[in-house]
Structure 1
Amino acid sequence: MRKFQFGFLLLLLVLVVNCAKKGFPPGGPVDIISPTIVNTLPADRTTKIPLTSSIQIQFSEKMNHKSVEGAINLMPAVDYNLDWTGNSLTLKPKTVLSINQTYVVSLGTECQDLEGNRLVNSFTLAFSTGETMDSGSVAGLTIQDGRPEPNVAVWAYKLNQNSDSVLPWKQKADYSASSDRKGKFKLNYMADGQYRLLAVKDLNKNQLWDPAAEHLGLTYKELSLDRNERKIEGLTFALVSRDTTSLALLNCQMLNRNTVKLTFNKDLAGIKSGTAELKVAGEEGDTLKSITVYQVHKQAKYIYVRVSGAQPLKTYRIMVSNLYSADGSQLSVKSDTCKFTAIDNPDLIPPEIVGNSPQTKAQNVALDAELSLYFSEPMGDKIETEKFQVEDSAGKKVEGTLSWMDELSLGFVPGKPWLPNTNYNARLVGSTVQDLAGNSLKDTLFTFNFRTLDTEKTGSVTGKVLFGKDKLLGKVFLNLKGLDSNSSYQEVLSSGDSFSFSNVLPGKYLLNGFIDFDQNSTYSYGTVEPFTSAEPYAVNPDTLVVRSRWTTENVILQF
Structure 2
Amino acid sequence: MDRKKSVALAVSIFTLVIILSGCANQLPPGGGEPDKTPPEIVEAYPPSGTTNFKDDYFYFDFSEYVDKRSFRDAIFISPAIEGQMEFSWTGKSVEIYFPEKFKDSITYVVTIGTDVEDLNNRNKMAQSYNLIFSTGDKIDTRVISGKVFNTKPEGIMIYAYKLKDAQENVFKRKPDYISQTGSDGTYSLKGLAKGFYRIFAVQDALKDFEFQPEQDKIGIPPFDVELTDTDTLRSGLNFFVSTVDTVKPRLLSATMTDKNHILISVSEEFDSTIITSLNFAIVDSTSDSVYLPRHAYKGNTKSTEMVLTTSDDLKEENNIYLFVKRLTDKNKNETLNDYSKITVSTKPDTLPSKLFKADPPAFNSTSDIDNQQFVFSFDDAFDSNLVKQAIELTDSMKTLYSYTIKFLDDATFSITSQKSLSPKKNYQIKINLKNLKDPAGNFRDSIYTYNFRTISGFDFTGLSGSLKNAVLSLNPVLVIASTTNPKAIYRTKPDSLFNFSFERVEAGNYKLICFYDEDKNERYSFGWPYPFGFSERFYFYPDPIDLKPRWTLTDVVFELK
TM-score, length basis structure 1: 0.71
Indicate how the Cα distance of structure 1 residues 131 and 362 shifts in structure 2: closer, same or farther if over 3 A, else same. farther
CA contact (8 A) 1:276 1:321 kept: no
Q: What is the CA-CA distance between 1:438 and the residue it aligns to?
A: 8.6
Partner of 2:340: 338
**Identity among equivalent pairs (%):** 21
Indicate how the Cα distance of structure 1 residues 82 and 279 shifts in structure 2: closer, same or farther if over 3 A, else same. farther
Indicate how the Cα distance of structure 1 residues 515 and 469 shifts in structure 2: closer, same or farther if over 3 A, else same. closer
CA contact (8 A) 1:100 1:130 kept: yes
Matches within 5 A, 1:423-462: 423-432=426-435, 437=439, 439=441, 442=444, 444-462=446-464
Indicate how the Cα distance of structure 1 residues 400 and 77 shifts in structure 2: closer, same or farther if over 3 A, else same. farther
Partner of 1:480: 481
Indicate how the Cα distance of structure 1 residues 187 and 353 shifts in structure 2: closer, same or farther if over 3 A, else same. farther
Matched, 1:390 2:393: yes
Equivalent residue for 2:265, pick from 263, 270, 274: 263
CA contact (8 A) 2:295 2:309 kept: yes
Indicate how the Cα distance of structure 1 residues 279 and 138 shifts in structure 2: closer, same or farther if over 3 A, else same. farther
Matched, 1:90 2:133: no
CA–CA distance in structure 1, aligned partners of residues 278 and 520 of structure 2: 15
Q: State how many pairs are aligned.
A: 515
Amino acid at match of 2:97: K
In the TM superposition, what whole-angstrom CA distance separates every residue of 1:442-462 from its partner, at most 9, and x where no partner exists?
Answer: 573233333333444443334
Matched, 1:103 2:108: yes
Matches within 5 A, 1:77-476: 77-78=80-81, 79-85=84-90, 88-98=93-103, 101-108=106-113, 121-129=127-135, 133=139, 137-145=143-151, 149-157=153-161, 164=169, 166=171, 173-191=175-193, 192-193=195-196, 195=198, 197-200=200-203, 216-219=217-220, 221=222, 223=224, 225=226, 227=228, 232-239=234-241, 247-253=249-255, 260-271=262-273, 273=275, 295-296=297-298, 299=301, 300-304=303-307, 313-316=318-321, 318=323, 323-324=328-329, 326=330, 328=331, 330=333, 337-340=339-342, 350-368=352-370, 369-376=372-379, 380-383=383-386, 385=388, 387-392=390-395, 394-397=396-399, 399-408=401-410, 409-432=412-435, 437=439, 439=441, 442=444, 444-463=446-465, 472=474, 476=477
Partner of 1:57: 60
CA contact (8 A) 1:249 1:337 kept: yes
Q: What is the CA-CA distance between 1:418 and the residue it aligns to?
A: 3.0
CA–CA distance in structure 1, aligned partners of residues 441 and 339 of structure 2: 32
CA–CA distance in structure 1, aligned partners of residues 278 and 200 of structure 2: 31
Indicate how the Cα distance of structure 1 residues 349 and 235 shifts in structure 2: closer, same or farther if over 3 A, else same. farther
The runs of 5 or more residues in structure 1 that have no matched partner are: 1-24
Aligned to 1:382, what secondary structure does the other structure show? helix
Q: What is the CA-CA distance between 1:93 and the residue it aligns to?
A: 2.6
In the TM superposition, what whole-angstrom CA distance separates every residue of 1:510-548 from its partner, at most 9, and x where no partner exists?
Answer: 445767778887766667688776665554453332323
Amino acid at match of 1:490: I
In the TM superposition, what whole-angstrom CA distance separates every residue of 1:147-196 from its partner, at most 9, and x where no partner exists?
Answer: x73343323355666962638xxx75433222234322232334534535
Indicate how the Cα distance of structure 1 residues 47 and 547 shifts in structure 2: closer, same or farther if over 3 A, else same. same
CA–CA distance in structure 1, aligned partners of residues 282 and 138 of structure 2: 63
In the TM superposition, what whole-angstrom CA distance separates every residue of 1:203-228 from its partner, at most 9, and x where no partner exists?
Answer: x866567989x872322656353659
Matches within 5 A, 1:63-74: 63-66=65-68, 68-74=71-77
Indicate how the Cα distance of structure 1 residues 296 and 477 shifts in structure 2: closer, same or farther if over 3 A, else same. farther
Amino acid at match of 1:302: E
CA contact (8 A) 1:219 1:236 kept: no
Indicate how the Cα distance of structure 1 residues 246 and 303 shifts in structure 2: closer, same or farther if over 3 A, else same. same
TM-score, length basis structure 2: 0.70
In the TM superposition, what whole-angstrom CA distance separates every residue of 1:14-47 from its partner, at most 9, and x where no partner exists?
Answer: xxxxxxxxxxx99xxx999876545443333444
Partner of 1:15: none
Q: What is the CA-CA distance between 1:142 and the residue it aligns to?
A: 1.8
CA–CA distance in structure 2, aligned partners of residues 517 and 293 of structure 1: 37
Partner of 2:8: none
Q: What is the CA-CA distance between 1:301 and the residue it aligns to?
A: 0.6
Partner of 1:492: 491
CA–CA distance in structure 2, aligned partners of residues 230 and 345 of structure 1: 74
Indicate how the Cα distance of structure 1 residues 34 and 200 shifts in structure 2: closer, same or farther if over 3 A, else same. closer
Partner of 1:8: none
CA contact (8 A) 2:516 2:536 kept: yes
Cα RMSD of the aligned pairs, angstroms, is 5.1
Aligned to 1:271, what secondary structure does the other structure show? helix
CA contact (8 A) 1:276 1:322 kept: no
CA–CA distance in structure 2, aligned partners of residues 512 and 443 of structure 1: 51
Aligned to 2:420, what secondary structure does the other structure show? coil
Indicate how the Cα distance of structure 1 residues 230 and 438 shifts in structure 2: closer, same or farther if over 3 A, else same. farther
Q: What is the CA-CA distance between 1:263 and the residue it aligns to?
A: 0.6
CA–CA distance in structure 2, aligned partners of residues 276 and 158 of structure 1: 49
Q: What is the CA-CA distance between 1:275 and the residue it aligns to?
A: 11
CA–CA distance in structure 1, aligned partners of residues 535 and 405 of structure 2: 35
Indicate how the Cα distance of structure 1 residues 456 and 279 shifts in structure 2: closer, same or farther if over 3 A, else same. closer
Q: What is the CA-CA distance between 1:342 and the residue it aligns to?
A: 7.5
Indicate how the Cα distance of structure 1 residues 64 and 503 shifts in structure 2: closer, same or farther if over 3 A, else same. same
Amino acid at match of 2:447: L
The runs of 5 or more residues in structure 2 that have no matched partner are: 1-28
CA–CA distance in structure 2, aligned partners of residues 220 and 376 of structure 1: 44
CA–CA distance in structure 2, aligned partners of residues 290 and 241 of structure 1: 37
Indicate how the Cα distance of structure 1 residues 118 and 386 shifts in structure 2: closer, same or farther if over 3 A, else same. closer
